[in-house]
Structure 1
Amino acid sequence: MQDQHDKTTHFGFQEIPVDEKVDAVAKVFHSVAAKYDIMNDLMSGGVHRLWKMHTINQSGVRSGNKVLDIAGGTGDLTLKFSRIVGSQGKVVLADINDSMLKVGRDKLANRGVVGNVEFVQANAEALPFPDNTFDCITIAFGLRNVTNKDAAIASMYRVLKPGGRLLILEFSKPESECLSNIYDQYSFRLLPMMGKLIANDSESYRYLAESIRMHPDQETLKGMMDDVGFERTSYQNMTGGIVALHKGFKL
């Protein structure tokens, strides 16, 4: 039987032992946490805000709901959800990285969000919540950093209430070869350069670009959701497939 340390997984384009990936990804996000929001705006030209708003509009979340925002980082989705669910509802911002959680906690406190938001440091592969807890679960730009994506999706299914929905917002595969070529040039030349200039960290942004390329394409991810039991699964491409929003229901 293979020892856990002998098994490998991808970290960007590198192959590393499975049990080293969590720490390797953690170092990336410790490094980028302080500049994460400004870099998101620069890298996407602000379009990430539209992608996230569309995700919220597709969530079906309403007053009194319980929402889990996995890999919630600096709290963009949590901020909006907290206002929708109101005082009778609850939003849990979960992230594996404590640096990102601290930035998110400070940001939400500065925006006057108190009372209905809880911050939890958690690994998406083994969510520390009871079965059938949440009306809606979102994970935005976080799944590609998870080591065992199948385990994470199964864990999300477990903690979702019957009738609840999962929304996965993630970089995906561009629909046209021309767009794919342009996107590659941007990702592997400009992103690391911007990371160096703004965050003084080109390597972390090189990893982020590589992690996008290693992420499953739209149909593969839809199949992974089907395999753990999600029903009525679908996806919608945005910005030519650079980003896709996957949706699935627990019936």
Structure 2
Amino acid sequence: MNSDFDDQAGAPHTHFGFRTIPAAEKQGRVDEVFHRVAARYDIMNDLMSGGLHRVWKDAMISWLAPPRRGPYKVLDVAGGTGDIAFRIARRSREAQLTVCDINESMLTVGRQRAEKQGLSDRVDFALGNAQSLPFPDMSFDAYTIAFGIRNVTVIEEALSEAFRVLRPGGRFMCLEFSPVDTPVLDRIYDLYSYRVIPEIGRRIVGDPDPYQYLVESIRRFPHRETFAEMIAEAGFSRVSFRKMTGGVALLHSGWRL
């Protein structure tokens, strides 16, 4: 589970990085992180991945394999800047895409980018929470989420919502950073994460704290097998995953059958 109860206070608690906080506070703190980095979000992902997030996102779209022609509705959650949606739009010429994000600053960046790329007529942007999506049941052919699910307060609720809004035969795909457990690579990645990334964040946005949180949130994310079990428990079938770059990131897939 992503949250637990404080026996003394009787209130649900969760984690914000390595800190335990009241569950009701997490979303506000995560929002503040992304308000502060929205304008430099792609730079942030370059820093977190060494630029490899672009390769991983392309791999995600290749595995999704959206049809090049014909109706196809995709919901991209926590994808405010539109990076995943734009890739799908270029691959699937008749796809209609909806980007849903809880952070208005991120959505503003996405709308601006969509207009510049001439995709405003095919990519919609909606304000919404992954744990209570503002869409009808069974309304999408695919649900994607990249580097976002570890930031929700209760992951199980987000997975349940993903299942709800997908049509039978719909595809769930999640790209997320992962705790590295490959010998040698894990030590190198820890050194880079804890020493280098926050310092670069301080130089770029004047504050290391958002980047410190993002690094810590990766370490708290469920192990790949555990997360696969959570996807299956939400109702998905044929759940599988692929390692990216020695396990620095993972692609998880599931189907609503």
Which residue of the other structure, out of 92, 100, 107, is the alignment partner of 1:94?
Answer: 100
Cα deviation code 1:96-131 (max 9, x no counterpart): 101011011111111111211110111001111111
**Identity percentage over the alignment?**
48
Which residue of the other structure, out of 54, 57, 64, is the alignment partner of 2:62?
Answer: 57
1:20 matched to which residue of 2?
A: 25
How much has 1:11 moved relative to structure 2? 0.3
Partners of 1:8 and 1:205 in 2: CA distance:
22
Which residue of the other structure, out of 26, 34, 42, is the alignment partner of 1:29?
Answer: 34
- Give the conservation status (yes or no) of the 8 Å contact 2:201–2:211: yes
How much has 1:82 moved relative to structure 2? 2.1
Cα deviation code 1:143-169 (max 9, x no counterpart): 000100001001000000111110010
1:98-177 equivalence runs, <5 A: 98-177=104-183
1:84 matched to which residue of 2?
A: 91
Is there any run of 5+ residues in structure 2 with no aligned partner, and where?
A: none
SS in 2 for 1:216: coil
Partners of 1:151 and 1:7 in 2: CA distance:
15
How much has 1:67 moved relative to structure 2? 0.3
Partners of 2:92 and 2:126 in 1: CA distance:
18
How much has 1:177 moved relative to structure 2? 2.9
Is there any run of 5+ residues in structure 1 with no aligned partner, and where?
A: none
Cα deviation code 1:192-237 (max 9, x no counterpart): 0010111212000000000000100100000001111100000000
Partners of 1:41 and 1:5 in 2: CA distance:
41
Q: CA RMSD in A?
A: 1.7
SS in 2 for 1:125: coil
Equivalent position amino acid for 1:207 in 2: Y
Partners of 2:168 and 2:65 in 1: CA distance:
14
Partners of 2:27 and 2:216 in 1: CA distance:
16
- Give the conservation status (yes or no) of the 8 Å contact 2:16–2:217: yes
1:249 matched to which residue of 2?
A: 255
Partners of 2:43 and 2:54 in 1: CA distance:
12
Identify if the C-alpha distance between structure 1 residues 240 and 114 changes in structure 2 by more than 3 Å, giving closer, same or farther. Answer: same
Q: Which moved more, 1:1-10 or 1:99-108?
A: 1-10
Residue 104 of structure 2 is aligned to residue 75 of structure 1 = no
Partners of 1:240 and 1:165 in 2: CA distance:
25
Partners of 1:143 and 1:42 in 2: CA distance:
19
Equivalent position amino acid for 2:78 in 1: A
Which residue of the other structure, out of 210, 216, 219, is the alignment partner of 2:222?
Answer: 216
SS in 2 for 1:124: coil
How much has 1:23 moved relative to structure 2? 0.3
Equivalent position amino acid for 1:38 in 2: I
SS in 2 for 1:177: coil
TM-score by length of 2: 0.93
Partners of 2:133 and 2:255 in 1: CA distance:
18
SS in 2 for 1:154: helix
Q: Which moved more, 1:108-117 or 1:37-46?
A: 37-46
**Higher helix fraction: Structure 1 or Structure 2?**
1
Residue 240 of structure 2 is aligned to residue 239 of structure 1 = no
Count of residues in Structure 1 that have an aligned counterpart in Structure 2? 250
SS in 1 for 2:80: coil
Q: Which moved more, 1:2-11 or 1:58-67?
A: 2-11
Which residue of the other structure, out of 181, 195, 200, is the alignment partner of 2:201?
Answer: 195
Which residue of the other structure, out of 37, 40, 49, is the alignment partner of 1:44?
Answer: 49
TM-score by length of 1: 0.95
Partners of 1:30 and 1:162 in 2: CA distance:
35
Partners of 1:178 and 1:244 in 2: CA distance:
19
